[in-house]
Amino acid sequence: MTSTRQPTWPRQLRLPGQVAAPDGPIDMHLMYVMHHAFRRDLDLFAAAVKQTPAGERRTWQLLADRWELFAEVLHEHHTVEDEGVWPAVLATCSPADVATLEAMEAEHEEIDPLLESCAAGFRRLAERADEDARAALAVRVCAARESLRRHLAHEETDAIAIIQRVLTAEDWHRIEEEHANPKDRTLGKVVRIVPWAAHRMPREALDRVFAQPGGAGFQLIWRLTRRRYARREAAAFRFA
């Protein structure tokens, strides 16, 4: 059987938990790095909420802060898609693809309330011991995890296949510059996001990210921040 993969297309990154990586002209490695981090986080949070005693207020404070980082990055990720990616795709795709993109936006709207309800649960447990609140939060986090898993799988199999079919690498670069790299992003925020994205990523995949254009800066920040980040992770997820 003759392969339809073009010789100039990039080799797509595959990470644990990822369900697909459609071929095409766009190197989607940063998308898959984010997806890996989202899946990793929700697995960790599900275990932590189930196993952290309700009276461990300091640990719940760390978990509440950590959830805030996770939710902030996920919200920004979805905003880039809603404001930059899907409009660009809709301008070019066929009518048959519209239903998939509309489903993507609807899934974002489903996930957002789940994230906020979880945030409220973490804040409550950071303030006082409440076994009922811990049990309720465990249910909410599992619901958020299942919802996001379905969404990421849908995106990786169907939506990214459409992106690869209708957009060029130049289109993707423009979207990243206009929407994914805001000029008001501070160094402090970058320092928070880089070790978060790289945490627990397979070393082979991490080295490949470092080898990409701009990857040297990513690597430098990771080297300077990874140990402090790992210590905070260990403290927040100590019971997981």
pLDDT band at 1 (very low <50, low <70, confident <90, very high): very low
- How many degrees, rounded to 5, is the angle at CA 69 between CA 104 and CA 226? 120
Domains of the chain: 29-236 (1.20.120)
Residue 87 pLDDT: 94
Residue closest to 81 by CA, chosen among 48, 103, 50, 51: 103
Residue 7 pLDDT: 62
Of 71 and 183, the one with more pLDDT:
71
Q: Is residue 126's pLDDT more than 60? A: yes
Token pair, residue 188, equals 């402090």
Per-residue pLDDT tens digits for 201-227: 999 999 999 999 889 999 999 999 999
Residue 184 pLDDT: 62
Residue 166 pLDDT: 96
Residue 214 pLDDT: 85
By residue count, the chain amounts to 240
Per-residue pLDDT tens digits for 84-118: 999 999 998 888 899 999 999 899 999 999 999 99
Letter string b/e over residues 184-206, b meaning 16 or more CB atoms within 10 A of that residue's CB: eeeeeeebbbbbbbbbebeeebb
